[in-house]
């Protein structure tokens, strides 16, 4: 079993839709959760960072963490064609020196 599982998609939605991206994980030691966006032929860029359980909002993006279920989500409101990219979840434990990444979900927002 992989440490982090993520549906690879692709996920295709019309412009303006609400998008839900999800990851599950198996290691209860994970405490820090991140979402990265990766455009084609580019390196990942950090979108959201959350510590432990709860919600965090930043503009059109909301990150949710449910540690009891080992489940994290990223919601994108009013999705735009420029949001078309691969979204990677990542996580680490306290004092860990490495991040564990999901395999990424490819999102396509159609105009």
Partner 1 sequence: ETGVTQSPTHLIKTRGQQVTLRCSSQSGHNTVSWYQQALGQGPQFIFQYYREEENGRGNFPPRFSGLQFPNYSSELNVNALELDDSALYLCASSLTSRGQGANVLTFGAGSRLTVL
The residues that touch partner 1, with contacts defined as CB under 8 A, are 4, 6, 8, 32, 34, 36, 41-46, 49, 51, 88, 90, 92, 95-104
**Closest to partner 1 by CB, 14 or 40:** 40
Minimal distance in Å, beta carbon 108 to partner 1? 15
**Closest to partner 1 by CB, 49 or 61:** 49
**Closest to partner 1 by CB, 3 or 66:** 3
Minimal distance in Å, beta carbon 49 to partner 1? 5
CA pair distance 21, 65, nearest whole angstrom = 12
Residue found by looking up tokens 């990677």 in the block:
88
The answer to whether 45 touches 38, Cβ cutoff 8 Å, is: yes
**Closest to partner 1 by CB, 17 or 92:** 92
Minimal distance in Å, beta carbon 111 to partner 1? 25
């Amino acid at each position: 079993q992989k440490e982090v599982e993520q549906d690879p998609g692709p996920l295709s939605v019309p412009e303006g839709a609400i998008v839900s991206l999800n990851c599950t994980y198996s290691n209860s030691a994970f405490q820090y959760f991140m979402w990265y966006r990766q455009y084609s032929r580019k390196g990942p860029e950090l979108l959201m960072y959350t510590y432990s359980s709860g919600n965090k909002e930043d503009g059109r993006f909301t990150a949710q963490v449910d540690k009891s279920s080992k489940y994290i989500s990223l919601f994108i409101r009013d999705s735009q064609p420029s949001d078309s990219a691969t979204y990677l979840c990542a996580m680490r434990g306290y004092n860990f020196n490495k991040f564990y990444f999901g395999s990424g979900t490819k999102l396509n927002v159609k105009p």
